[in-house]
Chain A
Amino acid sequence: MKNKNIKAADKRMGFRFRHFIIILLSVLIFFTAVELITLILQKGVISSQYGQANQSEKIDHSLYSQEVVKMLREKAYLTGRIDMAKTNGISLVVDLEDSVIRLELKGVVIHKAPILNYSKSRLFECSDQFAISKLLSLPGTVISYEGTLPKEAIIVKIAPKDTTEANNRPDIAPDTSKIEAVYYNLKLDNGINLHISQIEAKSYKGKLAGFIFYSREYFSALWNNTTTLISLKRPKLQINLWIKMDAKDGRIIYRSLPPNAHVTVRL
C-alpha cells in the first residue's frame, strides 16, 4: 500500500514537471515567433521608409555593384558629418570601417577612441542596400539616454553655517569614475539603437550591473514587440549596434553628448 502511494506521488511529480517544461517551451516558441515576425516586418519598414518606393527617380537594381554601394555609404557618411558640423552641439561619429568612434564639434574632431569590438544587427546586411545608405545619409538624433552611470555626476552640498563647519568638510568630491560600470544605450530617432559598453568589467559588481542593464533592456524590447504585434500594429524600426570600448572613453562619450546629440554611422 505504502509503495503504491509512493509510486503515485512519483508519477504526479513527473507529470507536473513535464507540464512545466511544455509551458516553458511554448513560451520560447512564442517569443521566437514574435521576434522573427518583428524582424521581417522591420525589414519591410526599412524598404518602405528609405527604399526606392519613396524616390521620385528609381534606380535600376542591377546598377548596384558592391563598389557603388560602398561609395554610396561613404557619401552618406560624409554628408552626415557635414550636416552635423553645421550644428552647435557636440556630435558622435561611429566609424565601423576604421573601428574608431569620434566626438566632433563644428566639424573638428575633439575626441577619438578605438572601437575594440563591435557587432551589428543583420538587418544592416540583409535589407535593401540603397535604403540602408539612405537611412545613414542623415544623422540621427539621440532621443533617449539610458545607462548604468549618471549623465551628470552632480553632488549636492549644503552651504556650511560658519567657518568651523566649512573647515571640517572635505574639499574634494569623491572620484566615482573608477568604480562606475560603463553600459549605456543611445536610442536614435532613425531607429538605430547604439549599445555601448566597456570591454570587460574588472569587478563582479560591474559585470552584474551590465548583465542586469542589458537583460532589462532586452525584456523591455521583447515586451514592446509583443504588445505591438498583439495589437496588430507595425513594429517600430529598431536596428542594433553593439560597441565595446575602453571604459574611460565610453564614460567621456556618454558625459559629453548633449541631450539631442546628432549621431552618424559609417558601415
Chain B
Amino acid sequence: MRVLRLLGSLKLTFVLLAAVTAGIGAGYVGGLDARPLLTGVLALLIVNLLGAIATHPRFRRQSALLAFHLCLLAAMVLVAVGDLLRLEGRLELANGQAFEPELVQITNRGAWFSDAALEAVAFRQGRFTVDYAPGLVRRAMRSWVDVSPGGEHPDRQIVGDTQPLVQQGFRFYTTSNKGLAALVSWVPVRGRAQIGTVHFPSWPLHDWKQVNEWTSPGGDALVLELVPALDLAPGEAFTFDSERVPAAGELRVSHAHGDASLLPGQMLRLPGGRMVFHGLTTWMGYRVVYDPTLPWLLATGIVGALALGWHFMGSLSPDARLWRAADRDPAVRA
C-alpha cells in the first residue's frame, strides 16, 4: 500500500506533468527528438494515475472525477496501442487501376501491424475531378472509386477532401498529389507484352517539369518527358476532370542510344524490346491510414470532457467543498 501511495503521489504527478510539458517544449523549440522521453514519462504517468486511483479516497466519493481520470488513462493506453497497430502510407492509382497491397508505400508501420489486413481491401480507381479557383487555388476534390471491382455492376463511391474511403478499417484519403500518366506497353523480344503507366509529377503544381525516369522490363534506362496538350489558365477558375484529359500528348524519350518523340500509337525500338505509347491518362494519390483505436479514442475524449464538466457542475456553488482548499489561506480570507 505504501508503494502504491508513493506511486500515486500528487507531487509525482506535478513532476511528470512538468516533464511532459518540458519534453514537448524541447521537441518543438529545441528540435530534439523528445519521443523516447515522452513515451517514458507517459508510461510513468499511467502508473502514477493507477496508484492515485487505487489510494485516493476522493476518487471513490466523486464518480465523475474518477470517470475523467479513467478516460485519461484509457486515452494514454489507446494512443500507445494505436501506435503499435498503426499503418501509414501513400498510394498512387492510375485511372482504372485496381488496388493491390504492394502498391502501398509504407511510411510508418506499427510493430503489431499485420500485412495480411491489407489483402481484404478491394477497389478500383475511376474518374476524379478537382475544382480550382482563380490563381490555381485548389478547392473541392472528388474521386470516384468502384468498391466492388469484381462484381457484375460497378458500385461507385465518392471519396473527397473530408470523406475518405473506409475499408476493413483502412482509411484512404485523397491528396493534392495527382497528375498525368503515360499509358505504355512493353513488348519484349521474347515473352508476353505488358501494359502499365508511368506517373509524372503532380499536376498542375509541377506542370513545368513533367519528367520521370523509368527502367523498362528489358533493362533500358529511359527519361520520359510528357508534353501534354493541356491549356492552363491560372487566372481563371476551372475544373480538372480526369476523363477530359486529351489523350493526344507527346512523349519525349531519352535513352542511351538517342532521343525520340512519340505520339499516341507510336512505337520506339530499344535493345530490350519495343515500347508503345498509347496516350495520356491520369493518376490519383491517396494517403492510407490504419488505426483501429481511433473511434475509441474519440469516444474516450468526449466522455472524459463531459465527465469533467459534470464534476465541475457539482461545484458551481462558491461554497462547494471542491474549492475550500485555499480558504484556509489568510490571503484569500482577507
Are A and B co-members of a single complex?
no
B→A interface (CB under 8 Å) = none
- Report A's interface with B, CB cutoff 8 A: none
